[in-house]
């Protein structure tokens, strides 16, 4: 397989875009990525798009073709991939494999979601499609309910507290306040979280990521062609791309207090990149709910099983601490426009490794990791990125 | 890029499955493909799934994870791709690229759709998502209407007649009558088609492919690993895989009487495989409507532009004529369970090249082609397969 690098990144503001549709958002993100890469659009040979529920949210399937059309890039191949909330990360991996195979030298990967134009009930139904329709959604389980079950189990087995979960949200809002593209750019306190209403006990409103509009894009290039095709780009190498699955329904898992697919994908990614958890300077992890970040930093090996809550409470995942986690603000504060999320994570790591993350810059970041989860853990996709010497 | 071969194929019966859900259908197809390949399920390293509108049709996104789960294959990576009616073909191409890249040696590609459990209106709305929601569906254009516009234009420019379109349906029903897995296994006449009611003039009921439940699967293997990993399989090589796009909305096209994306993908595929239209012994083309087959056999270079209708009427696309087209019965008679269709096409070509197509066998078939179209032509994916020496 050929080595693949990321030469450009582009994001829209994440938030409620009442004046922009899916099409406008994706064009904005892609245009920014192309400019950032220092290439011309005509150099792009294929497109991969990550979108979860466009059929339900905007009545539009066939998003691959829509992307090529809207970007004025016909007749190049353009393909949509979907893995629920991991759609963006899986799109990055699909673009990675396409370039690694030698089929294309330069590929654009974009993703986004327009979620605020439909009712909260319709969004909840669409999101429910990420879990097991027949065994979970049909029986009334919402996504907050599934993660609440995992939180309860983690609390039972390891003594994790609601205050520790709240510390995740507090830390991510602290980072989000430094990110001009984040949906929420304000700090909150543990008290704020504790006093917010229960959505699905023990998870409260401020334990949950929001409903968001937004789009993200990255441009990939074969590393061996960088000098020729992207001489102006500030390239970051993809040191590993890994993906794993688990049962769709939570009830079928061996353990409800860990995300097994993340452990499998992480082992694969660390082996491929030749690094371990201690080598990761900065990580974006999938904090759709605060408990998800706790389980992520354990499954990724940053902290021993059961200690993720305490580590967070102790400040070990803050900016420039033991390991800087979710410097973008994570899904919690930066927002979670589903198809965009996995691509935004990778984009944030690229900025960190370039040393261009401004106020939220991690000192001397050399190796970064992005972990994107679909559903309640049925899909995990992980990318490890490395600064080029 | 590594060479990739197909070592196993599996299909369910296509039709109305009142006693089986999406999950049962996909397991049946995948199991048949694994048995046909002569391998064990544990040898499969990744899954690609082609499904168009599961979110709307069965309330389930995250189909990649569902496939791995339902097939008992966790924790391997499993990814859904979607390109409207070309979802199956694009899934085959995604699997092809993954094996060609060297990331995996053996990959399963599956696809299917469960369409008969919802109302005809809901199906029409879901299918409309393959076109341009904002410019077509919102303004009342159904898919038969879009293809009717193309048919009218073809009739105007080239003198194509309704009887010539009918000849496509007659020929495909004739082939379908020889296929025990086809939805409709009975012959029809030109009179039958002409006397069926107009759906969108000039297209009548029997010019249209049906609503279908069904699933299909193929197993891919790196050609260099065939002896080691699939010594019992009857392998067929993928000589080319190509994909192209066009505008989502029909109104944005330069011509409404041809499928430009098919011409682009075909040129790419022929060049890669080192063959031309005259070398193709058997082809499965995307006849969602009869006019679509006429445009396909022209765009693929089998017949000059504008003569596809007459060639069909003259019997030049019948079984063992000038070129055998849609020996399976095509979408028209074999049925069109959307995500399964592109995979079924490839499966039919594999059977033909193996010499195992029974009563519908093409004599001495050496090279075959499958053309799968999304929407009204916004995506085309083409595979050329070759019998191994």
Cα torsion at A124, B374, A8, B252 (round to 10°)? -110
Count Cβ atoms below 10 Å from residue A45 Cβ, excluding itself: 16
Predicted local confidence at residue A232, as pLDDT:
80
Domain positions in chain B are 4-119+211-237, 131-208+239-387
- Closest residue to B62, CB basis, from A243, A374, A381: A374
**What b-and-e string marks burial along B226-239, b requiring 16 or more CB atoms within 10 Å of the CB?**
beebbeebbbbbbb
| Residue-wise pLDDT tens digits, B140-173 | 999 999 999 999 999 999 999 999 999 999 999 9
Q: What is the DSSP string of B311-377?
A: HHHTTTTSTTSSSEE-TT-HHHHH---HHHHHHHHHHHHHHHHHT--GGGPPTT--EEEEEEEETTT
How many beta-carbon pairs under 8 angstroms link A with B?
210
Known catalytic membership, residue A336 = yes
Q: Do A367 and A217 touch, CB atoms closer than 8 A?
A: no
Predicted local confidence at residue A257, as pLDDT:
97
- The C-alpha angle with vertex A283 and arms to A144 and A113, in degrees rounded to 5, equals 50
Interface contact B62-A375, CB threshold 8 A? yes
Residues facing residue B78 across a β-bridge: B47
Rg over CA atoms, chain B: 19
Joined together, the tokens standing for residue A355 give 């040393």
Active-site choice (A154, A286, A336, A383): A336
- Taking residues B274-293, report their average pLDDT: 98
CATH architecture designation of domain A142-209+239-387? 3-Layer(aba) Sandwich (3.40)
Burial of A49 (0-12, 13-18, 19+ CB in 10 A): buried
Q: How far is CA B111 from CA A60, A319, A379, B346, in A?
A: 20, 44, 18, 12
Query: Which of A371, A124, A135, A81 has its CA nearest to residue A248?
Result: A135
Question: Which residues have C-beta within 8 Å of that of residue A213, sequence separation ≥ 6?
Answer: A14, A15, A16, A17, A20, A25, A112, A113, A114, A115, A116, A337
Q: Do A104 and B33 touch, CB atoms closer than 8 A?
A: no
Spatial separation of the C-alpha atoms in residues A43 and A40, rounded to whole Å? 6
Query: What band does A61 get if pLDDT is binned at 50, 70 and 90?
Result: very high
Q: Does domain B131-208+239-387 have CATH number 3.40.109.10?
A: no
Q: Do A161 and A310 touch, CB atoms closer than 8 A?
A: no
CATH class of residue range B4-119+211-237: alpha beta
- Closest residue to A97, CB basis, from B78, B98, B131: B98
Taken as a whole, chain A contains a residue count of 389
In Å, how far is A12's CA from the nearest CA of chain B?
22
- Closest residue to A62, CB basis, from B79, B129, B252: B129
Interface contact B56-A55, CB threshold 8 A? yes
- Taking residues B307-315, report their average pLDDT: 98
Average pLDDT, chain A: 97
Average pLDDT, chain B: 97
Query: If you measure CA to CA, which chain B residue comes closest to A76?
Result: B244
Q: Do A159 and A317 touch, CB atoms closer than 8 A?
A: no
Query: Which of A78, A44, A90 has its CA nearest to residue B90?
Result: A78
B-chain residues near A124 (CB < 8 A): none
Joined together, the tokens standing for residue A148 give 């609440």
Spatial separation of the C-alpha atoms in residues B261 and A258, rounded to whole Å? 46
Query: What band does B388 get if pLDDT is binned at 50, 70 and 90?
Result: confident
% residues pLDDT > 90 (chain B):
95
B131-208+239-387 and B4-119+211-237 share a CATH fold: yes
DSSP code for A359: G
Interface test with B, best of A79, A87, A130, A374 (most B CBs within 10 A): A79
Q: Is the per-residue pLDDT at B182 higher than 80?
A: yes
Q: Do A229 and A39 touch, CB atoms closer than 8 A?
A: yes
Q: For tokens 């794993």, what's the residue?
A: A244
In Å, how far is B247's CA from the nearest CA of chain A?
5
Predicted local confidence at residue A318, as pLDDT:
98
- Taking residues B254-282, report their average pLDDT: 98
The greatest distance separating any two alpha carbons of chain A, rounded to the nearest whole angstrom, comes to: 56
B-chain residues near A98 (CB < 8 A): 97, 101
- Taking residues A67-94, report their average pLDDT: 97
| Residue-wise pLDDT tens digits, A106-157 | 999 999 999 999 998 889 889 989 999 999 998 999 999 999 999 999 999 9
Spatial separation of the C-alpha atoms in residues B32 and B20, rounded to whole Å? 16
B-chain residues near A113 (CB < 8 A): none
Q: Is the per-residue pLDDT at A389 higher than 80?
A: no
Q: For tokens 């306040």, what's the residue?
A: A177
- Taking residues A208-235, report their average pLDDT: 95
A-chain residues near B101 (CB < 8 A): 1, 97-98, 100-102
Q: Is the per-residue pLDDT at A27 higher than 80?
A: yes
- Closest residue to B60, CB basis, from A93, A133, A246: A133
Residues facing residue A200 across a β-bridge: A203
Count Cβ atoms below 10 Å from residue A232 Cβ, excluding itself: 10
Interface contact B83-A80, CB threshold 8 A? yes
Alpha helices in A304-382 (DSSP H): 308-313, 330-334, 338-354
Taken as a whole, chain B contains a residue count of 389
Flag the least confident range among A55-59, A111-115, B383-387: A55-59
Residues facing residue B200 across a β-bridge: B203
Q: Do A56 and A119 touch, CB atoms closer than 8 A?
A: no
Spatial separation of the C-alpha atoms in residues A245 and B45, rounded to whole Å? 12
DSSP code for B225: G
Predicted local confidence at residue A233, as pLDDT:
76
Interface contact B62-A98, CB threshold 8 A? no
Distance separating the N- and C-terminal Cα atoms of chain A = 21
Query: Which of B233, B182, B218 has its CA nearest to residue B10?
Result: B218
DSSP code for A255: -
Q: For tokens 């970051």, what's the residue?
A: A236
In Å, how far is A72's CA from the nearest CA of chain B?
9
Query: If you measure CA to CA, which chain B residue comes closest to A60?
Result: B129
């Amino acid at each position: 397989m050929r080595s693949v690098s990321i030469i450009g990144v582009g994001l829209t503001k994440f938030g409620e875009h009442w004046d922009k549709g899916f099409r406008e958002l994706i064009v904005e993100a892609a245009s920014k990525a192309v400019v950032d890469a220092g290439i011309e659009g005509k150099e792009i040979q294929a497109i991969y798009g990550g979108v979860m529920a466009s059929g339900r949210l905007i009545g539009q399937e066939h998003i691959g073709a829509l992307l090529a059309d809207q970007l004025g890039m016909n007749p190049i191949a353009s393909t949509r991939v979907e893995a629920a909330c991991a759609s963006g990360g899986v799109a990055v991996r699909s673009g990675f494999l396409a370039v690694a195979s030698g089929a294309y030298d330069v590929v654009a990967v974009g993703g986004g979601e327009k979620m605020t134009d439909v009712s909260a009930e319709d969004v909840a139904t669409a999101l429910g499609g990420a879990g097991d329709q027949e065994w979970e959604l049909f029986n009334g389980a919402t996504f907050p309910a599934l993660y609440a079950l995992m939180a309860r189990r983690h609390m039972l087995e390891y003594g994790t507290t609601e205050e520790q979960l709240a510390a995740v949200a507090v830390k991510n809002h602290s980072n989000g306040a430094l990110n001009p593209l984040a949906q929420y750019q304000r700090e909150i306190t543990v008290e704020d979280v504790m006093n917010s209403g229960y959505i699905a006990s023990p998870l409260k409103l401020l334990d949950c990521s929001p409903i968001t509009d937004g789009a993200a894009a990255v441009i990939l290039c074969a590393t061996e062609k960088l000098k020729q095709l992207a001489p102006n780009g500030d390239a970051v190498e993809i040191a590993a791309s890994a993906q794993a699955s688990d049962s769709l329904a939570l009830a079928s898992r061996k353990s409800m207090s860990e995300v097994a697919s993340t452990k499998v994908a992480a082992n694969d990614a660390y082996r491929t990149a030749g690094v371990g958890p201690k080598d990761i300077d900065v990580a974006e992890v999938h904090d759709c709910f605060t408990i998800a970040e706790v389980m992520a930093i354990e499954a990724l090996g940053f902290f021993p099983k059961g200690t993720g809550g305490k580590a967070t409470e102790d400040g070990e995942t803050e900016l420039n601490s033991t390991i800087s986690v979710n410097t973008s603000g994570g899904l919690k504060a930066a927002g979670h426009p589903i198809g965009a999320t996995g691509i935004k994570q990778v984009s944030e790591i690229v900025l960190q490794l370039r040393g261009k993350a401004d106020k939220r810059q991690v000192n001397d970041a050399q190796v970064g990791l992005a972990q994107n989860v679909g559903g309640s853990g049925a899909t995990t996709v992980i990318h490890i990125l490395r600064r080029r010497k």
